[in-house]
Amino acid sequence: MNIYIASPLGNENVDIKEKRGNLSKAIEFLRSKGYDVYVPIEHPLEHAWDWPNDEWGLQVFRNDINAITECDFMVVLNYGRLETSGGTIFEQGFAYGIGKKVLLVEMTDNVQSLMVANGRYATVKGLEGLKKYDFDSDNPPRSRVDTEQK
């Protein structure tokens, strides 16, 4: 199974070390289970510093869209409505829109965007929930975690 992980890497509201640490743990766990895991940050573009910013951005966008299109499942590490990046939310929405299974991993108890909370196949709470999730099940838990939505 090919899994794409979408995750914000940090902003002023959540420590970058915490987010990168959680992302590393999720990658390590999924790979230990034998899944093929695609993480955008692991695929830098060659000679990117030589490109104008708009060209670099377009190439990153295309690479990510191609990887999402090819994945079987998307895992989204979500930190809430105000703490999750626009890029992460876009990746989730695109994946959901083209019919990919999206597992929303709520990393905090922060208020979730109603669009994000409902644009998923299943929801789990934190890395422990990710570890317990059965990707091969035909009957996933479809109920949202008890987190406020706005």
pLDDT at 51 over 90: no
| DSSP-based three-state secondary structure for 36 | strand
pLDDT digits (tens, 9 = 90+) for 61-113: 999 999 999 999 999 999 988 888 889 999 999 999 999 999 999 999 888 88
Q: Global pTM?
A: 0.89
- Render 37-80 in DSSP notation, one character per residue: EE-GGG-PPTTGGGS-HHHHHHHHHHHHHHHHHH-SEEEEEE--
Enumerate helices (H) and strands (E) in the chain, giving the number of each: 5, 5
Instruction: For domain 2-37+68-132, say whether CATH 3.40.50.2030 is its number.
Output: no
- Only one residue has tokens 């090819």, namely 70
d(CA 99, CA 130): 21
